[in-house]
């Protein structure tokens, strides 16, 4: 019977046009992705499209997209019998409940499986398609085709079971779709939000596709491995599959069970108790005449409102969405307290930003779902004819529906906010700042909800069915702006509604940004009101489906009150739109994404030839900046001193004002020769050539205005409290810079630019931070309103207060880079002083009142860093070190920056961080140490623009910051930072699509600058010897500190290191900097006979070798590491001292989870072996009666490379781990 | 008086449901007969403002129904052939909802009227039951009740007695009869006895047109002495059909009875039959279809 049911169901579904259409679409898209170049989703330069990694993505995509047809098919497989009434007929046959439920499931699922399986030969065919580029499509292997398909198929099975159960439980396709939306939303959330912060386990568990486990297991693999090897499958993947398949199977059982209870097909039937009673005596009927007046209107409105409210609020979809929304808000609110992998205080500003993202998603979902339900509800229930003939004004239909949709969306936001505040409280922030949430979130969301609800109502009221309503809504709210953006017409007046929040900061709250957003809200609310009137005038009554009669009705009603209101709102929205357009496009220049790219390409073409033009060098700057916080403006006046440092007279120079608003510029003996149109770059001529060594002053005046009308992403430099201006926004430059140039290879290709434009030789030796500038003598005066403190680099030499203005003049005691920041806010200052060998240094922390949580930590880290670096690398030259709290506008992922003697520290990364007192270290101290290290590496040593420059700045700053922390934290635990950097490098290099450059050719690759370079330098420090290494760096600084051209480069550093290193270390230096070498070690087995009096025999299969890789990660050579050691251990419980030492660093969570149990490894024996290029089998006689449980292999005293425990093999790649590396400081 | 002038309606799929239809409906009961697909429902939806006809005009007193649908709705009662209800809503609640929608703002008035209507349609005993759980007949009675809310001046009822048992049917017809003095009541039905019993005026529609219209009694009287009957063996039916204008073939007590149309005694054993509306309907429809052969 089971097969009979299944066969029929499969036959039935295979005739379903919807299934066939989706199959056809899926086949066409899949084929197109491979063979049709414009549709191709290119995985990057190096990853092939026949690799298992890429194919897994394709299969997962297919499986997830198949959810769309699966939802109605599986959800309706059983329910349709209940709805159509055919259930009674089926129950009268010999079909059993089990046969029926499982037969229906298998039968409905078979067509989906068939469609999915047909993709496999289709992909094979696509990969063999003639004419495809062979580098992208090398021969496909059967296993590579099948393994990812099997992974994705498991997802298909799981989701099918769940959908079947949901459909059976909910008996509503709409609810099934909501469940699907929630599942997909949760999946996207899991993939995007749980990537960091120690949520990997949760991510592995919650990802119902299993993709995360596979992703993590393969994350550190090279492109070569990804292209050639099958996907690595971890235990976590199997656990994940087992768990989710269990959930799926349970769902099926639930579906089976539900069919046996009341309401199910096999349950007891509900008896219709509504029988007629004997008619009472009937007298003459008394009928009243109705009166359509204001009271009637109110009655009608109330009647519809209560009905629509009940319809939504008591619906299963509302309950599901509410639960889903609450869950979503809970998760994101919990996620609020993190900055990367750091725990930070979940302040309301952060919560609001997170809630806002969720709210926009919920608004879109609820408005779309409930509008369709309310607009089509009467028609679906076939009661629309009775309702529509009643003498009701159309407002009676529309107004309550609009209210209910808005109320539903707002209730989600309100409940989500409450959930968020509870989560805040649970995380230790129990302030319940309702006022802030109301002003920052609820008020703007009120307008957003209205705008989107009206759009949803309109779309469903003018389309012939729900599906078209959804399509139109999607097109209006997302499609239109996307299309416009693709066509190069993106504009705030095209993107419907306002779904963004103004930038928020603890400095200012909404600051002045709310004004621009108010304009946007006003405009789109007026548009929404116009659309609302259109909806009313074109409302569908009765059975009318045609648009024409409704347009005629609208036209005919133009003279009614509604028509007049329509005209009024039309004019008002045109007026507000016109005002916005006037400001964005006429008063200012509106730059679309496409327009910007076109402009950038044009600028590059125009100004690239000017890069070779020799020019003068800026050697001094005198700057006066007038900040007006209340007016949100700033003006700057100043002079830059230009010097001819070439050997020939200069007749012209570049005047670059591309990042600033130039008011005026003048220079004696020079004049504007040519304006490079649209590039904001001019060519000036010296009327009298500037002779070698000659200096002249260029005066300039610039301005900044922080106002913006109707920008979704307003400028944030100047605010009423927390102004942060970079020097490039105020001071003109004298070289071409490449800031605006396109970097994406595809974009560059699109606009006819070469893939890369090599830096001309003339620019190679320029200052890395400020091309065209040397080390400058700076004199900076900043004024601001009284109550605020202006901050700039240098020693404070003068402070005056006059006419409500405070003015401070700063003069650095040494030359600085022509790259600095000026800040102003209502700061309080914590001051201390540290006495270093070469004199005292003033320590100042500028922070907002109340942000005192981490002052001690920051101050301690400042002192420790200054002490360490001045001892190791020479004196601190700036006299004062300031750390300045800065709003996080646009810098949400950045912790801090470093300028000469001054470190702007963004509010999220530093001031909110929760320092766990029980933890052995904290990232905040590491950040402080890194930025202080830049006072040597970046602000004493500045590299030239040659490749590898960032090794001298970020690489050295990162590595030396670890040394500074050794004073603060246990030395052996500093290694965790090294491992983090190494992990970051390993993870990122696997995603490198352009090929991994060697360090000496590195340009902007941050994973090399912050990952590989510091780890390499750290290892070299130990290889060369800490004292010799640090002495080499000290000499390096001594030679190049504040030295003008030629600036040092990486080659110079390597020369210095090699000079300090023994010859046998030179090869290692080269391997790190001029080669790509990966250490591969593996222990695949450990076998030991049972120990007895005579000991035991232990066999170990292990290997240790190196692989040289090309830029795509492909090994081209390998070699055994030669003599190495194998150490055998057994485990013993820790003694008291060990336990005490160990638990000192354990958190409560560690102890709870058992990590806190302390076991020590006791060495049993060590053997020296010769490691070849491949795994070798080694056998040892152990004269000890101890179980050998752990093996370590390594090379001499240098590396512990790999371990094995409980026969679980573990391998390490690329860098030798550093756990055993001595970490010493010179005495 | 309701006046329909040159009314046509073509659906988006090209089907011409009504074709240049003109009709005048006076106060009182007006019967509308016609086969399936004749355009009756389209006509009634057009009158009930539920769809805009492609062409033509509908006038009720001073009201241009197409241009001023809201004014007609204030005086309209409508019972469609099929309708659904809201789930989990009782008869009392749903009737109250419709009363509110029809503009009854005074609770006392509304309550009295709703309870009266529930009594009239014999749903008082189940007034608190969900309408969704009603049987077909009970639901139909509910539909009648809601159509009567507001003492409509135009009442359009489509197949109102379908599914009613004889007792309820009689109750409903009496109810309609009591309303007929002041209102235009359009009764569309396939049960010709309803029209003959209630409607002084009537029309027969076919193919989107009015093919017969007039006073019901006069129209029936027009067939006076022209309808004949004869009991014949089943095997001879075809022979009789070729020789006479047979308008109906019936079975009565197991025997085949032929009804024939003839100006004079057709002979051959036919006897006169007291004609009724059913015979008129059959003659009209068959003549419209051209199915009625001329006698030689």
Whether the Cβ atoms of residue B214 and residue B202 lie closer than 8 Å to each other? yes
CB atoms within 10 A of CB A193: 18
Q: Which residues contact A634 (CB under 8 A, 6 or more apart)?
A: A625, A626, A627, A628, A703, A704, A718, A723, A725, A730
Question: What is the distance between the alpha carbons of residues B74 and B60, in angstroms, rounded to a whole number?
Answer: 12
If one compares A1036 and A329, the residue with the highest pLDDT of the two is A1036
Distances (CA, A) of A696 to A492, A503, A669, A691, A699: 46, 42, 9, 10, 10
Q: Which residue has 């002192």 as its token pair?
A: A863
For the complex shown, is ipTM > 0.90? yes
| pLDDT, tens only, B215-258 | 999 999 988 888 899 999 888 888 888 888 888 888 888 889 99
Interface test with B, best of A271, A272, A288 (most B CBs within 10 A): A288
Is A285 within 8 Å of B116 when comparing Cβ atoms?
yes
Bridge partners for A1127 per DSSP: A1166, A1192
Task: Select the CATH number that applies to the domain covering B2-220 from these four: 3.40.50.170, 3.90.1150.10, 1.20.1260.10, 3.40.50.300.
Answer: 3.40.50.300
Is B78 within 8 Å of A386 when comparing Cβ atoms?
yes
A271: contact with B, CB 8 A cutoff: no
Confidence of residue A1202 (pLDDT cuts 50, 70, 90): very low
Assign domain A606-784 to a CATH class: mainly beta
Confidence of residue A1142 (pLDDT cuts 50, 70, 90): low
Please report the pLDDT score of residue A1221 as a whole number: 31
| pLDDT, tens only, B132-153 | 888 888 998 999 999 999 889 9
Is B48 within 8 Å of A385 when comparing Cβ atoms?
yes
By residue count, chain B amounts to: 296
The packing angle between helices A67-84 and A142-170, to 10°, is 30
Q: Which residue has 């900097």 as its token pair?
A: A1073
Question: What is the distance between the alpha carbons of residues A427 and A429, in angstroms, rounded to a whole number?
Answer: 6
Question: What is the distance between the alpha carbons of residues A333 and A355, in angstroms, rounded to a whole number?
Answer: 7
Task: Please say whether the dihedral angle defined by the alpha carbons of residues B125, B127, B131 and B133, taken in this order, is positive or negative.
Answer: negative
B13 has pLDDT over 60 = yes
If one compares A556 and A901, the residue with the highest pLDDT of the two is A901
Question: What is the distance between the alpha carbons of residues A1005 and A771, in angstroms, rounded to a whole number?
Answer: 20
Question: What is the distance between the alpha carbons of residues B171 and B193, in angstroms, rounded to a whole number?
Answer: 15
Give residues 547 to 586 of A whose Cβ lies within 8 Å of B: 549, 556
Whether the Cβ atoms of residue B160 and residue B144 lie closer than 8 Å to each other? yes
Bridge partners for B187 per DSSP: B31, B157
A1195 has pLDDT over 60 = no
Question: What is the distance between the alpha carbons of residues A590 and A1141, in angstroms, rounded to a whole number?
Answer: 62
Boundaries of every domain in chain B? 2-220, 222-289
Question: What is the distance between the alpha carbons of residues A627 and A625, in angstroms, rounded to a whole number?
Answer: 6
Question: What is the distance between the alpha carbons of residues B15 and B10, in angstroms, rounded to a whole number?
Answer: 6
Please report the pLDDT score of residue B235 as a whole number: 86
Cα-based angle A98, A99, A104 (whole degrees, multiple of 5): 105
Q: Which residue has 């007049």 as its token pair?
A: A564
Ranking A254-268, A753-767, A833-847 by mean pLDDT, the lowest is A254-268
A399: contact with B, CB 8 A cutoff: no
Question: What is the distance between the alpha carbons of residues A1034 and A875, in angstroms, rounded to a whole number?
Answer: 10
If one compares B242 and A1200, the residue with the highest pLDDT of the two is B242
Torsion of CA A37, A41, A43, A45, to 10 degrees: 30
Q: Which residue has 């090279």 as its token pair?
A: A222
B146: contact with A, CB 8 A cutoff: yes
Which whole number is the average pLDDT over B63-69? 92
Homologous superfamily of the A936-1075 domain (CATH): Neutral Protease Domain 2 (1.10.390.10)
**A296 neighbourhood in chain B, CB within 8 Å:** 103-105
- Tell me the nearest-neighbour CA distance from A374 into chain B, angstroms: 12
Distances (CA, A) of A938 to A772, A894, A925, A950, A1018: 16, 18, 19, 9, 19
Q: What six digits make up the tokens of B189?
A: 């039905």
If one compares A307 and A545, the residue with the highest pLDDT of the two is A307
Ranking A644-658, A1203-1217, B47-61, B191-205 by mean pLDDT, the lowest is A1203-1217
| Alpha-helical regions (H) of A171-265 | 173-193, 200-206, 211-218, 223-228, 235-258
Is the link from the previous residue into A1046 a cis peptide, with omega within 30 of 0? yes
Q: If DSSP states are collapsed to H, E and C, what string results for chain B?
A: CEEEEEEEEECCCCCEEEEEEEEEECCEEEEEECCCCCCHHHHHHHHCCCCCCCEEEEEECCEECCCCHHHHHCCEEEECCCCCCCCCCEHHHHHHHHHHHCCCCCHHHHHHHHHHHHHHCCCHHHCCCEHHHCCHHHHHHHHHHHHHCCCCCEEEEECCCCCCCHHHHHHHHHHHHHHCCCCEEEEECCCHHHHHHHCCEEEEEECCEEEEEEEHHHHHHCCCCCEEEEEECHHHHHHHHHHCEEEEEEEECCEEEEEEECCCCCCCCCEECCCCHHHHHHHHHHHHHCCCCCCC
Please report the pLDDT score of residue A862 as a whole number: 96
If one compares A979 and B23, the residue with the highest pLDDT of the two is B23
Please report the pLDDT score of residue A993 as a whole number: 67
Cα-based angle A265, A267, A270 (whole degrees, multiple of 5): 95
Please report the pLDDT score of residue A1067 as a whole number: 87
| pLDDT, tens only, A65-83 | 888 888 888 877 877 776 6
A475 has pLDDT over 50 = yes
Closest partner residue to B100 among A283, A285, A299, by Cβ?
A: A299
**A280 neighbourhood in chain B, CB within 8 Å:** 119, 124
Cα-based angle B130, B132, B137 (whole degrees, multiple of 5): 105
A1200 has pLDDT over 60 = no
Please report the pLDDT score of residue A1216 as a whole number: 43
Of A215, A227, A219, A44, which Cα lies nearest the Cα of A140?
A: A227
Whether the Cβ atoms of residue A1074 and residue A947 lie closer than 8 Å to each other? no
Q: Determine the 3-state secondary structure of A1162 from DSSP.
A: strand
Cα-based angle A1025, A1026, A1030 (whole degrees, multiple of 5): 120
Please report the pLDDT score of residue A1214 as a whole number: 44
If one compares A1160 and A132, the residue with the highest pLDDT of the two is A132
Is A274 within 8 Å of B119 when comparing Cβ atoms?
no
A441 has pLDDT over 80 = yes
Q: Which residue has 């009666």 as its token pair?
A: A1185
A85: contact with B, CB 8 A cutoff: no
Q: Which residue has 């430059």 as its token pair?
A: A733
Question: What is the distance between the alpha carbons of residues B207 and B288, in angstroms, rounded to a whole number?
Answer: 9
Bridge partners for A791 per DSSP: A823
Is B104 within 8 Å of A296 when comparing Cβ atoms?
yes
**A293 neighbourhood in chain B, CB within 8 Å:** 103, 105
Helices then strands, counting H and E runs in chain A, come out as 39, 28
Q: What are phi and psi of A886, to 5 degrees?
A: -135, 140
Boundaries of every domain in chain A? 2-258, 295-590, 606-784, 936-1075, 1076-1227
Q: Determine the 3-state secondary structure of A300 from DSSP.
A: helix
Please report the pLDDT score of residue A538 as a whole number: 92
CB atoms within 10 A of CB A576: 21
Question: What is the distance between the alpha carbons of residues A871 and A804, in angstroms, rounded to a whole number?
Answer: 44
Q: CB-side exposure of A293: number of CA atoms within 13 Å?
A: 7
* Mean pLDDT computed over every residue of chain A: 86
Per DSSP, A744 falls in state: -
A63 has pLDDT over 80 = yes
**A–B CB contacts, 8 A cutoff, strictly below:** 157
Question: What is the distance between the alpha carbons of residues A947 and A939, in angstroms, rounded to a whole number?
Answer: 19
| pLDDT, tens only, A559-573 | 889 999 999 999 999
Task: For A275, name the nearest residue in chain B, comparing CA atoms only.
Answer: B126
Whether the Cβ atoms of residue A1100 and residue A1166 lie closer than 8 Å to each other? no
| Alpha-helical regions (H) of A381-512 | 384-388, 394-426, 434-437, 443-462, 466-474, 480-486
Of A417, A449, A410, A457, which Cα lies nearest the Cα of A435?
A: A417
Confidence of residue A917 (pLDDT cuts 50, 70, 90): low
Whether the Cβ atoms of residue A792 and residue A820 lie closer than 8 Å to each other? yes
- Tell me the nearest-neighbour CA distance from A386 into chain B, angstroms: 7
Question: What is the distance between the alpha carbons of residues A947 and A953, in angstroms, rounded to a whole number?
Answer: 12
Question: What is the distance between the alpha carbons of residues A84 and A88, in angstroms, rounded to a whole number?
Answer: 10
A273 has pLDDT over 50 = no
Question: What is the distance between the alpha carbons of residues A82 and A635, in angstroms, rounded to a whole number?
Answer: 74
| Range B135-139 contact pairs with CB under 8 angstroms and sequence separation of 24 or more | B135/A272, B135/A274, B135/A275, B136/B163, B137/B163, B137/B164, B137/B165, B137/B168, B138/A274, B138/A276, B139/B85
Confidence of residue A266 (pLDDT cuts 50, 70, 90): low
Please report the pLDDT score of residue A2 as a whole number: 81
Is B50 within 8 Å of A388 when comparing Cβ atoms?
yes
If one compares A831 and A198, the residue with the highest pLDDT of the two is A831
Cα-based angle A742, A1049, A820 (whole degrees, multiple of 5): 65
Q: What six digits make up the tokens of A188?
A: 């996207």
A415 has pLDDT over 90 = yes
């Amino acid at each position: 019977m089971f097969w009979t049911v299944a066969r029929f169901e499969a036959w039935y579904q295979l005739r379903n046009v919807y299934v066939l259409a989706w199959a056809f679409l899926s086949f066409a898209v899949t084929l197109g992705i491979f063979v049709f170049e414009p549709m191709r989703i290119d995985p990057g330069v190096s990853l092939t499209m026949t690799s298992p990694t890429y194919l897994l993505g394709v299969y997962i995509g297919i499986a997830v997209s198949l959810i769309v047809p699966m939802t109605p098919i599986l959800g309706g497989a059983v329910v349709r019998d209940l709805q159509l009434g055919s259930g009674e007929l089926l129950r009268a046959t010999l079909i059993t409940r089990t046969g029926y439920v499982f037969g229906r499931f298998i039968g409905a699922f078979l067509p989906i499986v068939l469609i999915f399986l047909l993709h496999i030969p289709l992909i094979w065919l696509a990969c063999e398609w003639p004419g495809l580029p062979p580098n992208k499509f090398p021969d496909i292997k059967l296993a590579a085709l099948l393994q990812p398909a099997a992974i994705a198929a498991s997802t298909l099975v799981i989701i099918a079971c769940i959908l079947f159960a949901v459909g059976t439980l909910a008996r509503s396709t709409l609810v099934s779709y909501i469940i699907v939306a929630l599942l997909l939303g949760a999946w996207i959330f899991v993939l995007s939000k749980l990537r960091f912060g120690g949520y990997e386990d949760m991510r592995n568990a919650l990802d119902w596709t299993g993709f995360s486990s596979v992703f993590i297991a393969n994350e550190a693999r090279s492109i070569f491995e990804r292209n050639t090897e099958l996907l690595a499958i971890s235990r976590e993947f199997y656990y994940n599959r087992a768990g989710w398949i269990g959930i799926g199977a349970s769902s099926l059982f639930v579906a089976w069970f539900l069919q046996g209870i009341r309401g199910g097909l096999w349950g007891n039937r509900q008896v219709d108790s509504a029988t007629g009673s004997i008619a009472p005596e009937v007298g003459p009927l008394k009928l009243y005449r109705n009166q359509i007046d204001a009271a009637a209107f109110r009655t009608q409105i109330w009647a519809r409102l209560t009905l629509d409210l009940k319809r939504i609020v008591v619906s299963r979809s509302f309950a599901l969405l509410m639960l889903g929304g609450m869950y979503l808000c809970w998760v994101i609110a919990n996620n609020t307290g993190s900055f990367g992998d750091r725990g930070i205080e979940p302040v309301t500003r952060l919560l609001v930003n997170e809630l806002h993202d969720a709210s926009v998603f919920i608004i879109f979902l609820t408005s779309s779902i409930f509008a369709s339900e309310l607009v089509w509800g009467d028609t679906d229930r076939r009661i629309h004819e009775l309702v529509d003939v009643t003498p009701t004004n159309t407002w009676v239909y529309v107004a309550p529906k609009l209210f209910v949709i808005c109320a539903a969306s707002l209730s989600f936001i309100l409940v989500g906010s409450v959930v968020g505040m509870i989560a805040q409280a649970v995380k230790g922030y129990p302030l319940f700042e309702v006022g802030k949430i109301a002003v920052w979130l609820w008020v703007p969301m009120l307008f957003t909800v209205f705008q989107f609800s009206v759009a949803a109502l309109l779309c469903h009221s003018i389309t012939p069915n729900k599906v078209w309503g959804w399509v139109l809504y999607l097109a209006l709210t997302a499609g239109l702006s996307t299309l416009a953006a693709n066509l190069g017409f993106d504009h705030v007046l095209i993107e419907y509604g306002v779904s963004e929040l103004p930038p928020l900061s603890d400095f200012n709250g909404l600051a002045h940004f709310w004004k621009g957003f108010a304009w946007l809200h006003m405009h789109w609310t007026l548009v929404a009101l116009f659309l609302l009137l259109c909806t009313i005038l074109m409302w569908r009554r009765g059975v009318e489906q045609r648009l024409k009669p409704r347009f005629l009705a609208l036209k005919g009603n133009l003279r009614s009150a509604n028509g007049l209101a329509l005209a009024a709102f039309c004019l008002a929205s045109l007026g507000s739109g016109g005002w916005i357009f006037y400001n964005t496009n006429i008063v200012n220049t509106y730059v679309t994404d496409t327009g910007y790219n076109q402009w950038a390409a044009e600028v590059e073409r125009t100004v690239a030839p000017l890069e070779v033009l020799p020019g003068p060098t800026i050697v001094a700057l005198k700057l006066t900046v007038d900040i007006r916080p209340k007016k949100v403006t700033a003006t700057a006046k100043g002079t830059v001193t230009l010097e001819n440092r070439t050997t020939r007279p200069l007749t012209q120079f570049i005047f670059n004002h591309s990042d600033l608003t130039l008011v005026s510029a003048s220079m004696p003996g020079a004049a504007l020769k040519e304006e490079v149109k649209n590039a904001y770059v001019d060519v000036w001529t010296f009327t009298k050539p500037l002779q070698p060594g000659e200096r002249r002053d260029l005066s300039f005046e610039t301005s900044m205005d922080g106002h913006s009308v109707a920008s979704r992403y307003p400028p944030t430099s100047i605010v009423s409290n927390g102004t942060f201006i970079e020097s490039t926004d105020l001071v003109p430059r004298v070289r071409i810079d490449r800031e605006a140039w396109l970097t994406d290879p595809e974009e560059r290709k699109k606009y006819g630019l070469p893939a890369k434009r090599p830096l001309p030789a003339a620019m190679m030796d320029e200052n890395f931070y400020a091309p065209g500038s040397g080390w400058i003598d700076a004199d900076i005066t900043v004024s601001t309103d009284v109550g605020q403190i202006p901050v700039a680099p240098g020693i404070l030499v003068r402070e005056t207060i006059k006419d409500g203005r405070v003015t401070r003049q700063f003069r650095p005691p040494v030359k600085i880079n022509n790259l600095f920041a000026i800040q102003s806010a209502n700061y309080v200052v914590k001051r201390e002083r540290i006495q270093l060998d070469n004199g005292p240094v003033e320590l100042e922390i500028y922070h907002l009142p109340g942000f005192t949580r981490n002052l001690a930590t920051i101050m301690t880290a400042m002192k420790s860093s200054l002490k360490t670096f001045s001892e190791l690398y020479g004196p601190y030259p700036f006299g004062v070190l300031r750390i300045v709290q800065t709003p996080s506008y646009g810098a949400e992922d950045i912790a801090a920056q470093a300028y000469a003697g001054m470190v702007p520290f963004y509010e999220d990364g530093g001031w909110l961080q929760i320092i766990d007192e029980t933890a052995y270290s904290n990232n905040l101290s590491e950040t402080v140490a890194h930025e202080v290290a830049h006072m040597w590496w970046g602000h004493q040593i500045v590299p030239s623009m040659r490749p590898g420059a960032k090794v001298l700045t970020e690489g050295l700053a990162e590595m030396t910051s670890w040394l500074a922390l050794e004073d603060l934290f246990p030395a052996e635990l500093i290694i965790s930072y090294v491992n983090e950097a190494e992990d970051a490098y390993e993870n990122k290099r696997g995603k490198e699509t352009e090929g991994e450059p060697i360090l000496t050719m590195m340009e902007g690759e941050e994973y090399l600058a912050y990952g590989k370079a510091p780890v390499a330098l750290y290892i070299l420090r130990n290889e060369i010897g800490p004292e010799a290494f640090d002495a080499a760096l000290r000499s390096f600084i001594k030679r190049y500190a504040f030295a003008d051209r030629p600036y040092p480069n990486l080659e110079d550093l390597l020369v210095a290191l090699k000079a300090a290193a023994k010859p046998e270390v030179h090869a290692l230096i080269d391997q790190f900097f001029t080669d790509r070498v990966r250490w591969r070690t593996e222990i695949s087995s450990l076998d030991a006979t049972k120990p007895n009096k005579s000991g035991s025999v232990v066999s170990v299969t292990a290997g240790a070798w190196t692989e040289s890789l090309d830029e795509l990660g492909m090994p081209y050579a390998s070699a055994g590491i030669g003599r190495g050691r194998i150490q055998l251990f057994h485990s013993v419980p820790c003694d008291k001292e060990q336990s005490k030492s160990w638990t000192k660093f354990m958190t409560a969570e560690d102890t709870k989870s058992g990590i806190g149990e302390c076991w020590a490894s006791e060495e049993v024996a060590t053997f020296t072996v010769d490691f070849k290029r491949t795994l070798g089998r080694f056998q040892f006689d152990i004269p000890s009666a101890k179980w050998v449980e752990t093996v370590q292999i390594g090379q001499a005293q240098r590396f512990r490379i790999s371990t094995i425990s409980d026969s679980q093999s573990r391998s390490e790649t690329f860098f030798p781990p550093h756990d055993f590396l001595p970490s010493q400081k010179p005495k | 008086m309701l006046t329909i002038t040159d009314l046509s309606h073509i659906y988006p799929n090209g089907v011409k449901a009504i074709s240049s239809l003109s009709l005048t409906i006076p106060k009182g009961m007006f019967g509308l007969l016609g086969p399936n697909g004749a355009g009756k429902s389209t006509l009634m939806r057009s009158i009930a403002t539920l769809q805009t006809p492609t062409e033509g005009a509908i006038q009720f007193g001073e009201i241009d129904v197409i241009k001023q649908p809201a004014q007609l709705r204030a005086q309209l009662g409508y019972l469609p052939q099929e309708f659904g209800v809201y789930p989990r809503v009782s008869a009392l609640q749903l009737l109250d909802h419709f009363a509110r929608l029809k503009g009854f703002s005074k609770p006392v008035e509304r309550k009295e009227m709703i309870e009266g209507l529930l009594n009239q349609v014999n749903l008082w005993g189940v007034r608190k039951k969900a309408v969704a759980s009603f049987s077909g007949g009970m639901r139909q009675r509910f539909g009648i009740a809601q159509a009567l809310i507001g003492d409509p001046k135009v009442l359009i009822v489509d197949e109102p007695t379908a599914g009613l048992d004889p007792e309820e049917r009689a109750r409903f017809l009496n109810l309609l009869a009591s309303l007929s003095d002041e209102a235009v009541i359009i009764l569309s039905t396939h049960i010709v006895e309803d029209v003959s019993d209630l409607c002084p005026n009537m029309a027969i529609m076919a193919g989107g047109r009015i093919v017969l219209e007039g006073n019901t009694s006069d129209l029936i009287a027009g067939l006076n002495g022209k309808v004949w009957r004869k009991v014949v063996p089943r095997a001879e039916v075809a022979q009789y059909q070729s020789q006479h204008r047979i308008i109906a073939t019936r079975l009565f007590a197991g025997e085949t009875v032929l009804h024939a149309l003839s100006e004079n005694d057709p002979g051959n054993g036919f006897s006169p039959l007291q004609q009724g509306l059913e015979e008129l309907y059959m003659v009209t429809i068959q003549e419209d279809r051209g199915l009625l052969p001329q006698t030689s």
